[in-house]
């Protein structure tokens, strides 16, 4: 799958680990940065990632900041973007099954790399259930 990933300075380390994980799983990754520890503004990266999901360049997006909150707030302002902030496995799975989330947000200061990797694995492999859930996501 083609996945675009972005982060701010708070999410840099976690992003690098997730890029390696996804590449190892055979996904095609577009990494839009940031690439250094210099302080940057998370909305810029959220906008870039969401634009690539919106226009179909990438099927899914992943956004990482310190808490994941800022990224999810920005991402959900974009039409067609269903961003889910997930810090455990249940909501990661349900965000795909019930909400067809196309952007995953993570907080690098909230969870460690082991749990983040598991969340990404679950999120990447869970299918949307459709049915009554399709009608609901079409309502917003």
We find the least distance from the C-beta atom of residue 127 to ligand RB5, in angstroms, to be: 29
Nearer to ligand RB5, 38 or 127 (CB): 38
Q: How far apart are CA 10 and CA 72, in angstroms?
A: 14
Q: How far apart are CA 2 and CA 139, in angstroms?
A: 27
Instruction: Note the residues at the interface with ligand RB5 (CB under 6 A).
Output: 8, 10, 42, 65-67, 69-70
Under 8 Å CB-to-CB from 63, ≥6 apart: which residues? 5, 6, 7, 11, 42, 45, 46, 49, 71, 72, 75, 83, 103, 104, 105, 106
User: How many alpha carbons lie under 13 Å from residue 65 in its C-beta half-sphere?
Assistant: 19
Is 27 an annotated catalytic residue? Answer: no
We find the least distance from the C-beta atom of residue 69 to ligand RB5, in angstroms, to be: 4
Nearer to ligand RB5, 72 or 91 (CB): 72
Is 105 an annotated catalytic residue? Answer: no
Give me the catalytic one of 9, 87, 98, 133. 98
We find the least distance from the C-beta atom of residue 136 to ligand RB5, in angstroms, to be: 27
How far is C-alpha 118 from the geometric centre of its chain's CA atoms? 13
Nearer to ligand RB5, 8 or 31 (CB): 8
Give me the catalytic one of 50, 65, 86, 105. 65
Structure tokens that stand for 24 in this block: 């190892």
Residues forming the active site? 65, 98
């Amino acid at each position: 799958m083609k996945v675009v990933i972005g982060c701010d300075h708070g999410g840099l380390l976690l992003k690098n680990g997730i890029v390696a994980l996804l590449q190892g799983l055979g996904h095609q990754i577009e990494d839009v940065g940031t690439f250094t520890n210099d302080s940057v503004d998370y909305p810029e990266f959220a906008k870039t990632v969401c634009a690539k999901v919106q226009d179909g360049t990438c099927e899914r997006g992943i956004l990482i900041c310190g808490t994941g909150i800022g990224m999810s707030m920005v991402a959900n302002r974009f039409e067609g973007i269903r961003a889910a902030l997930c810090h455990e496995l249940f909501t990661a799975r349900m965000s795909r099954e019930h909400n067809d989330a196309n952007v995953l947000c993570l907080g690098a200061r909230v969870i460690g790399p082991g749990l983040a990797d598991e969340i990404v694995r679950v999120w990447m492999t869970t299918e949307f259930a459709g049915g009554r859930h399709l009608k609901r996501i079409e309502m917003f």
